Structure 1
Protein backbone atom coordinates (compact mmCIF):
# COMPACT_ATOMS: atom_id res chain seq x y z
CA UNK A 1 0.00 0.00 0.00
CA UNK A 2 1.42 3.44 -0.92
CA UNK A 3 2.84 5.68 1.79
CA UNK A 4 0.43 8.60 2.12
CA UNK A 5 1.63 10.13 5.39
CA UNK A 6 4.55 10.13 7.79
CA UNK A 7 3.62 10.60 11.43
CA UNK A 8 6.54 12.06 13.32
CA UNK A 9 7.08 11.57 17.00
CA UNK A 10 8.23 14.92 18.35
CA UNK A 11 10.64 14.72 21.29
CA UNK A 12 13.91 13.07 20.34
CA UNK A 13 12.68 12.33 16.81
CA UNK A 14 11.58 15.51 15.02
CA UNK A 15 13.19 17.82 17.57
CA UNK A 16 16.43 17.03 19.39
CA UNK A 17 14.77 17.65 22.73
CA UNK A 18 15.44 14.62 24.90
CA UNK A 19 18.55 16.21 26.48
CA UNK A 20 16.47 19.31 27.21
CA UNK A 21 13.68 17.20 28.69
CA UNK A 22 16.18 15.42 30.88
CA UNK A 23 17.78 18.65 32.09
CA UNK A 24 14.33 20.10 32.80
CA UNK A 25 13.40 16.98 34.75
CA UNK A 26 16.56 17.30 36.82
CA UNK A 27 15.85 21.02 37.35
CA UNK A 28 12.35 20.23 38.60
CA UNK A 29 13.46 17.38 40.85
CA UNK A 30 16.29 19.43 42.34
CA UNK A 31 13.67 21.60 44.05
CA UNK A 32 12.75 18.49 46.06
CA UNK A 33 16.41 17.48 46.58
CA UNK A 34 16.02 14.46 44.30
CA UNK A 35 18.75 13.26 41.94
CA UNK A 36 17.50 10.23 39.96
CA UNK A 37 19.88 7.54 38.76
CA UNK A 38 20.80 7.32 35.08
CA UNK A 39 18.86 4.05 34.87
CA UNK A 40 15.71 5.74 36.15
CA UNK A 41 16.22 8.65 33.75
CA UNK A 42 16.43 6.21 30.83
CA UNK A 43 13.30 4.45 32.05
CA UNK A 44 11.12 7.53 31.54
CA UNK A 45 12.38 8.51 28.08
CA UNK A 46 9.44 8.84 25.70
CA UNK A 47 6.81 8.39 28.40
CA UNK A 48 3.94 10.71 29.27
CA UNK A 49 3.93 13.01 32.31
CA UNK A 50 1.58 10.59 34.06
CA UNK A 51 3.85 7.62 33.40
CA UNK A 52 6.96 9.55 34.46
CA UNK A 53 5.23 10.63 37.65
CA UNK A 54 4.20 7.05 38.40
CA UNK A 55 7.80 5.85 38.08
CA UNK A 56 9.09 8.64 40.32
CA UNK A 57 6.34 8.21 42.91
CA UNK A 58 7.21 4.52 43.15
CA UNK A 59 10.92 5.29 43.53
CA UNK A 60 10.64 8.12 46.08
CA UNK A 61 8.42 8.02 49.15
CA UNK A 62 6.38 11.18 49.64
CA UNK A 63 6.90 12.34 46.07
CA UNK A 64 4.74 15.39 45.16
CA UNK A 65 1.36 14.80 43.54
CA UNK A 66 0.90 14.76 39.77
CA UNK A 67 -0.29 18.35 39.50
CA UNK A 68 2.72 19.80 41.33
CA UNK A 69 5.12 17.63 39.34
CA UNK A 70 3.60 18.61 35.98
CA UNK A 71 3.70 22.32 36.85
CA UNK A 72 7.34 22.12 37.92
CA UNK A 73 8.44 20.11 34.87
CA UNK A 74 6.59 22.35 32.39
CA UNK A 75 8.07 25.53 33.87
CA UNK A 76 11.56 24.05 33.84
CA UNK A 77 11.20 22.86 30.25
CA UNK A 78 9.73 26.05 28.78
CA UNK A 79 12.63 27.97 30.34
CA UNK A 80 15.00 25.88 28.20
CA UNK A 81 13.29 25.82 24.78
CA UNK A 82 15.94 28.12 23.35
CA UNK A 83 18.26 25.07 23.37
CA UNK A 84 16.14 23.17 20.84
CA UNK A 85 17.08 22.27 17.27
CA UNK A 86 15.68 19.92 14.65
CA UNK A 87 17.28 16.53 14.98
CA UNK A 88 20.02 16.01 12.42
CA UNK A 89 18.51 14.37 9.35
CA UNK A 90 14.98 15.73 9.78
CA UNK A 91 15.38 18.60 7.31
CA UNK A 92 16.61 16.23 4.58
CA UNK A 93 13.79 13.78 5.28
CA UNK A 94 11.20 16.56 5.24
CA UNK A 95 12.52 17.74 1.88
CA UNK A 96 12.06 14.24 0.48
CA UNK A 97 8.51 13.94 1.83
CA UNK A 98 7.55 17.35 0.47
CA UNK A 99 8.93 16.47 -2.96
CA UNK A 100 7.08 13.13 -2.99
CA UNK A 101 3.77 14.65 -1.88
CA UNK A 102 3.65 12.72 1.39
CA UNK A 103 1.54 14.30 4.16
CA UNK A 104 2.98 14.76 7.64
CA UNK A 105 1.71 15.09 11.19
CA UNK A 106 3.27 15.38 14.64
CA UNK A 107 2.21 12.84 17.29
CA UNK A 108 3.60 13.44 20.76
CA UNK A 109 3.33 12.06 24.27
CA UNK A 110 4.01 15.56 25.60
CA UNK A 111 1.48 18.10 26.85
CA UNK A 112 0.15 20.69 24.40
CA UNK A 113 2.23 23.49 25.91
CA UNK A 114 5.42 21.53 25.15
CA UNK A 115 4.33 20.51 21.64
CA UNK A 116 3.59 24.11 20.71
CA UNK A 117 6.75 25.44 22.38
CA UNK A 118 8.92 22.86 20.60
CA UNK A 119 7.54 23.59 17.15
CA UNK A 120 7.75 27.35 17.65
CA UNK A 121 11.36 27.06 18.84
CA UNK A 122 12.45 25.29 15.64
CA UNK A 123 10.33 27.39 13.28
CA UNK A 124 7.80 24.64 12.51
CA UNK A 125 4.55 26.19 13.74
CA UNK A 126 2.98 25.63 10.32
CA UNK A 127 -0.68 26.55 9.72
CA UNK A 128 -2.70 23.43 9.00
CA UNK A 129 -0.11 21.02 10.40
CA UNK A 130 -1.90 18.32 12.38
CA UNK A 131 -0.38 17.90 15.82
CA UNK A 132 -1.48 15.47 18.51
CA UNK A 133 -0.52 16.07 22.14
CA UNK A 134 -1.10 13.99 25.25
CA UNK A 135 -3.99 16.32 26.07
CA UNK A 136 -5.82 15.36 22.87
CA UNK A 137 -6.30 11.66 23.66
CA UNK A 138 -7.51 9.50 26.52
CA UNK A 139 -4.32 7.47 26.75
CA UNK A 140 -0.78 8.25 25.66
CA UNK A 141 1.71 5.98 23.96
CA UNK A 142 2.18 2.97 24.04
CA UNK A 143 -1.59 3.07 23.51
CA UNK A 144 -2.31 3.37 19.76
CA UNK A 145 -4.81 6.18 20.32
CA UNK A 146 -2.52 9.12 19.47
CA UNK A 147 -1.50 7.64 16.12
CA UNK A 148 -5.02 6.52 15.26
CA UNK A 149 -6.30 10.04 15.94
CA UNK A 150 -3.70 11.52 13.60
CA UNK A 151 -4.71 9.10 10.84
CA UNK A 152 -8.37 9.98 11.40
CA UNK A 153 -7.67 13.71 11.11
CA UNK A 154 -5.69 13.08 7.92
CA UNK A 155 -8.62 11.03 6.54
CA UNK A 156 -6.33 8.04 6.11
CA UNK A 157 -6.40 4.42 7.21
CA UNK A 158 -3.58 3.12 9.46
CA UNK A 159 -1.82 1.11 6.70
CA UNK A 160 -1.45 4.37 4.72
CA UNK A 161 0.80 5.79 7.44
CA UNK A 162 4.43 5.41 8.46
CA UNK A 163 5.40 6.20 12.04
CA UNK A 164 8.90 7.51 12.81
CA UNK A 165 9.93 7.00 16.44
CA UNK A 166 13.06 7.21 18.55
CA UNK A 167 11.69 5.28 21.55
CA UNK A 168 10.45 1.70 21.99
CA UNK A 169 7.37 3.06 23.79
CA UNK A 170 6.35 5.13 20.78
CA UNK A 171 7.25 2.40 18.31
CA UNK A 172 4.98 0.01 20.21
CA UNK A 173 2.14 2.52 19.81
CA UNK A 174 2.67 2.65 16.06
CA UNK A 175 2.70 -1.14 15.77
CA UNK A 176 -0.47 -1.38 17.88
CA UNK A 177 -2.11 1.16 15.55
CA UNK A 178 -1.48 -1.12 12.57
CA UNK A 179 1.00 1.23 10.91
CA UNK A 180 4.41 0.74 9.37
CA UNK A 181 7.01 1.80 11.93
CA UNK A 182 10.49 3.16 11.33
CA UNK A 183 12.55 3.09 14.50
CA UNK A 184 15.12 5.88 14.46
CA UNK A 185 17.16 5.31 17.61
CA UNK A 186 19.66 7.88 18.73
CA UNK A 187 23.31 6.92 19.11
CA UNK A 188 23.71 4.70 22.15
CA UNK A 189 20.16 3.35 22.04
CA UNK A 190 19.63 -0.40 21.80
CA UNK A 191 17.86 -1.33 18.53
CA UNK A 192 16.88 -4.66 20.08
CA UNK A 193 14.62 -2.80 22.52
CA UNK A 194 12.24 -1.91 19.69
CA UNK A 195 9.33 -4.12 18.59
CA UNK A 196 10.42 -6.71 16.01
CA UNK A 197 7.90 -5.28 13.52
CA UNK A 198 9.78 -1.97 13.39
CA UNK A 199 12.28 -1.24 10.64
CA UNK A 200 15.49 0.17 12.09
CA UNK A 201 16.80 3.29 10.35
CA UNK A 202 20.35 4.56 10.23
CA UNK A 203 20.70 7.06 13.11
CA UNK A 204 22.20 9.70 10.79
CA UNK A 205 20.49 8.92 7.46
CA UNK A 206 16.74 8.69 7.93
CA UNK A 207 16.13 10.07 4.45
CA UNK A 208 17.58 6.97 2.81
CA UNK A 209 15.36 4.67 4.86
CA UNK A 210 12.20 6.64 4.03
CA UNK A 211 13.14 6.91 0.35
CA UNK A 212 13.57 3.13 0.11
CA UNK A 213 10.24 2.56 1.85
CA UNK A 214 8.43 5.01 -0.43
CA UNK A 215 10.05 3.54 -3.54
CA UNK A 216 9.06 0.03 -2.45
CA UNK A 217 5.41 0.88 -1.79
CA UNK A 218 4.81 3.97 -3.90
CA UNK A 219 3.57 7.35 -2.67
CA UNK A 220 0.44 9.34 -3.37
Structure 2
Protein backbone atom coordinates (compact mmCIF):
# COMPACT_ATOMS: atom_id res chain seq x y z
CA UNK A 1 0.00 0.00 0.00
CA UNK A 2 2.85 2.38 0.79
CA UNK A 3 4.30 1.87 -2.67
CA UNK A 4 0.92 2.54 -4.30
CA UNK A 5 0.43 5.72 -2.28
CA UNK A 6 3.88 7.07 -3.02
CA UNK A 7 3.59 6.19 -6.68
CA UNK A 8 0.28 8.06 -6.89
CA UNK A 9 1.79 11.07 -5.13
CA UNK A 10 4.78 11.03 -7.45
CA UNK A 11 2.55 10.90 -10.54
CA UNK A 12 0.27 13.63 -9.18
CA UNK A 13 3.22 15.90 -8.40
CA UNK A 14 4.80 15.15 -11.77
CA UNK A 15 1.54 15.99 -13.53
CA UNK A 16 1.28 19.21 -11.54
CA UNK A 17 4.87 20.05 -12.39
CA UNK A 18 4.21 19.64 -16.09
CA UNK A 19 0.93 21.57 -16.12
CA UNK A 20 2.25 24.38 -13.92
CA UNK A 21 5.36 24.58 -16.10
CA UNK A 22 3.20 24.94 -19.19
CA UNK A 23 1.17 27.68 -17.50
CA UNK A 24 4.37 29.50 -16.59
CA UNK A 25 5.68 29.15 -20.15
CA UNK A 26 2.45 30.66 -21.50
CA UNK A 27 1.84 33.34 -18.87
CA UNK A 28 5.36 34.10 -17.53
CA UNK A 29 3.75 34.57 -14.13
CA UNK A 30 5.84 34.43 -10.98
CA UNK A 31 3.04 32.55 -9.25
CA UNK A 32 3.21 29.72 -11.77
CA UNK A 33 7.00 29.65 -11.52
CA UNK A 34 6.76 29.18 -7.75
CA UNK A 35 4.05 26.57 -8.17
CA UNK A 36 6.27 24.73 -10.65
CA UNK A 37 9.08 24.80 -8.09
CA UNK A 38 6.70 23.46 -5.44
CA UNK A 39 5.69 20.56 -7.66
CA UNK A 40 9.26 19.95 -8.80
CA UNK A 41 10.64 19.67 -5.28
CA UNK A 42 7.76 17.48 -4.16
CA UNK A 43 8.28 15.26 -7.21
CA UNK A 44 11.97 14.79 -6.43
CA UNK A 45 11.24 13.89 -2.82
CA UNK A 46 8.59 11.39 -3.87
CA UNK A 47 10.82 9.97 -6.61
CA UNK A 48 13.56 8.95 -4.17
CA UNK A 49 11.07 7.43 -1.72
CA UNK A 50 9.17 5.57 -4.44
CA UNK A 51 12.29 4.19 -6.13
CA UNK A 52 13.65 3.01 -2.79
CA UNK A 53 10.40 1.20 -2.02
CA UNK A 54 10.35 -0.28 -5.50
CA UNK A 55 13.95 -1.50 -5.41
CA UNK A 56 14.31 -2.57 -1.78
CA UNK A 57 10.68 -3.17 -0.72
CA UNK A 58 11.12 -1.25 2.52
CA UNK A 59 10.97 2.31 3.84
CA UNK A 60 14.16 4.32 3.18
CA UNK A 61 16.53 4.31 6.13
CA UNK A 62 18.05 7.66 5.10
CA UNK A 63 14.88 9.69 4.65
CA UNK A 64 16.55 13.12 4.68
CA UNK A 65 16.97 12.92 0.90
CA UNK A 66 13.20 12.96 0.45
CA UNK A 67 12.64 15.39 3.31
CA UNK A 68 14.95 17.91 1.67
CA UNK A 69 12.70 17.91 -1.39
CA UNK A 70 9.47 17.99 0.59
CA UNK A 71 10.58 20.76 2.93
CA UNK A 72 11.79 22.75 -0.08
CA UNK A 73 8.35 22.35 -1.63
CA UNK A 74 6.75 23.71 1.55
CA UNK A 75 9.08 26.72 1.41
CA UNK A 76 8.05 27.41 -2.18
CA UNK A 77 4.40 27.08 -1.16
CA UNK A 78 4.93 29.71 1.51
CA UNK A 79 6.59 32.04 -0.99
CA UNK A 80 3.67 31.43 -3.34
CA UNK A 81 1.29 32.41 -0.55
CA UNK A 82 3.17 35.65 -0.03
CA UNK A 83 3.29 36.41 -3.75
CA UNK A 84 -0.45 35.93 -4.24
CA UNK A 85 -1.42 37.92 -1.16
CA UNK A 86 -1.87 41.68 -1.16
CA UNK A 87 -0.45 44.13 1.34
CA UNK A 88 -3.91 44.58 2.81
CA UNK A 89 -4.27 40.84 3.32
CA UNK A 90 -0.88 40.53 5.00
CA UNK A 91 -1.74 43.34 7.43
CA UNK A 92 -5.25 42.02 8.09
CA UNK A 93 -5.89 41.25 11.76
CA UNK A 94 -7.40 37.83 12.36
CA UNK A 95 -7.51 36.24 15.80
CA UNK A 96 -8.51 32.90 14.30
CA UNK A 97 -5.08 32.67 12.67
CA UNK A 98 -3.59 31.93 16.09
CA UNK A 99 -5.24 28.51 15.83
CA UNK A 100 -2.22 27.55 13.77
CA UNK A 101 -0.04 27.96 16.86
CA UNK A 102 -2.57 26.47 19.26
CA UNK A 103 -2.68 23.33 17.13
CA UNK A 104 0.86 23.31 15.77
CA UNK A 105 2.91 23.72 18.95
CA UNK A 106 1.32 20.80 20.88
CA UNK A 107 1.65 18.62 17.78
CA UNK A 108 5.32 19.58 17.50
CA UNK A 109 5.93 18.50 21.09
CA UNK A 110 4.03 15.28 20.44
CA UNK A 111 5.96 14.48 17.26
CA UNK A 112 9.28 15.11 19.02
CA UNK A 113 8.57 12.10 21.22
CA UNK A 114 8.52 9.94 18.08
CA UNK A 115 11.13 11.47 15.81
CA UNK A 116 13.99 13.85 15.19
CA UNK A 117 13.66 17.27 16.85
CA UNK A 118 15.23 19.26 14.01
CA UNK A 119 13.09 17.61 11.35
CA UNK A 120 9.92 18.15 13.38
CA UNK A 121 10.90 21.74 14.09
CA UNK A 122 11.32 22.45 10.37
CA UNK A 123 8.12 20.68 9.36
CA UNK A 124 5.88 21.96 12.13
CA UNK A 125 7.36 25.43 11.84
CA UNK A 126 6.53 25.54 8.14
CA UNK A 127 3.04 24.15 8.70
CA UNK A 128 2.35 26.74 11.41
CA UNK A 129 3.51 29.61 9.19
CA UNK A 130 1.60 28.33 6.16
CA UNK A 131 -1.61 27.65 8.08
CA UNK A 132 -1.41 31.02 9.87
CA UNK A 133 -1.20 32.82 6.54
CA UNK A 134 -4.00 30.80 4.98
CA UNK A 135 -6.40 31.22 7.91
CA UNK A 136 -5.78 34.96 7.82
CA UNK A 137 -6.07 35.00 4.04
CA UNK A 138 -9.31 33.04 4.10
CA UNK A 139 -10.84 35.41 6.63
CA UNK A 140 -9.72 38.36 4.51
CA UNK A 141 -11.05 36.86 1.26
CA UNK A 142 -14.46 36.24 2.80
CA UNK A 143 -14.82 39.99 3.30
CA UNK A 144 -13.98 40.80 -0.31
CA UNK A 145 -16.25 41.04 -3.34
CA UNK A 146 -15.77 40.14 -6.97
CA UNK A 147 -12.67 38.36 -8.25
CA UNK A 148 -10.66 39.00 -5.09
CA UNK A 149 -12.94 36.55 -3.30
CA UNK A 150 -11.45 33.75 -5.44
CA UNK A 151 -8.37 33.74 -3.22
CA UNK A 152 -10.41 31.81 -0.67
CA UNK A 153 -10.20 28.66 -2.81
CA UNK A 154 -6.42 28.79 -2.75
CA UNK A 155 -6.37 29.20 1.02
CA UNK A 156 -8.88 26.38 1.52
CA UNK A 157 -6.75 23.96 -0.52
CA UNK A 158 -3.60 25.00 1.36
CA UNK A 159 -5.34 24.43 4.70
CA UNK A 160 -6.49 21.02 3.48
CA UNK A 161 -2.88 20.28 2.54
CA UNK A 162 -1.70 21.21 6.04
CA UNK A 163 -4.49 19.19 7.67
CA UNK A 164 -3.63 16.16 5.52
CA UNK A 165 0.04 16.42 6.48
CA UNK A 166 -0.78 16.65 10.18
CA UNK A 167 -3.24 13.75 9.96
CA UNK A 168 -0.69 11.65 8.08
CA UNK A 169 1.99 12.26 10.68
CA UNK A 170 -0.35 11.52 13.59
CA UNK A 171 -1.61 8.28 12.07
CA UNK A 172 1.98 7.25 11.36
CA UNK A 173 2.69 7.37 15.09
CA UNK A 174 -0.03 4.85 15.90
CA UNK A 175 -0.59 2.65 12.86
CA UNK A 176 2.20 0.79 11.10
CA UNK A 177 0.39 -2.02 9.27
CA UNK A 178 0.49 -1.89 5.49
CA UNK A 179 -3.17 -2.36 4.51
CA UNK A 180 -6.27 -0.52 3.34
CA UNK A 181 -7.41 -0.37 6.97
CA UNK A 182 -4.44 1.80 7.87
CA UNK A 183 -5.54 5.47 8.08
CA UNK A 184 -2.18 6.36 6.54
CA UNK A 185 -3.40 5.05 3.21
CA UNK A 186 -6.44 7.32 3.15
CA UNK A 187 -4.63 10.38 4.47
CA UNK A 188 -2.03 9.86 1.75
CA UNK A 189 -4.83 9.81 -0.81
CA UNK A 190 -6.18 13.04 0.68
CA UNK A 191 -2.73 14.62 0.47
CA UNK A 192 -2.44 13.55 -3.17
CA UNK A 193 -5.80 15.17 -3.92
CA UNK A 194 -4.69 18.39 -2.24
CA UNK A 195 -1.55 18.43 -4.36
CA UNK A 196 -3.65 18.11 -7.51
CA UNK A 197 -6.21 20.71 -6.38
CA UNK A 198 -3.49 23.27 -5.75
CA UNK A 199 -3.08 23.97 -9.47
CA UNK A 200 -6.70 24.96 -10.24
CA UNK A 201 -6.87 26.85 -6.94
CA UNK A 202 -3.77 28.83 -7.87
CA UNK A 203 -5.19 29.46 -11.31
CA UNK A 204 -8.30 31.04 -9.79
CA UNK A 205 -6.15 33.11 -7.45
CA UNK A 206 -3.96 34.36 -10.30
CA UNK A 207 -7.02 35.32 -12.35
CA UNK A 208 -8.36 37.31 -9.41
TM-score normalised according to structure 1 size: 0.30
Q: Which has the higher strand share?
A: 1
Q: Which has the higher helix share?
A: 2
Q: Tell which has more relative contact order, 1 or 2 (C-alpha 8 A, sep 6+).
A: 1
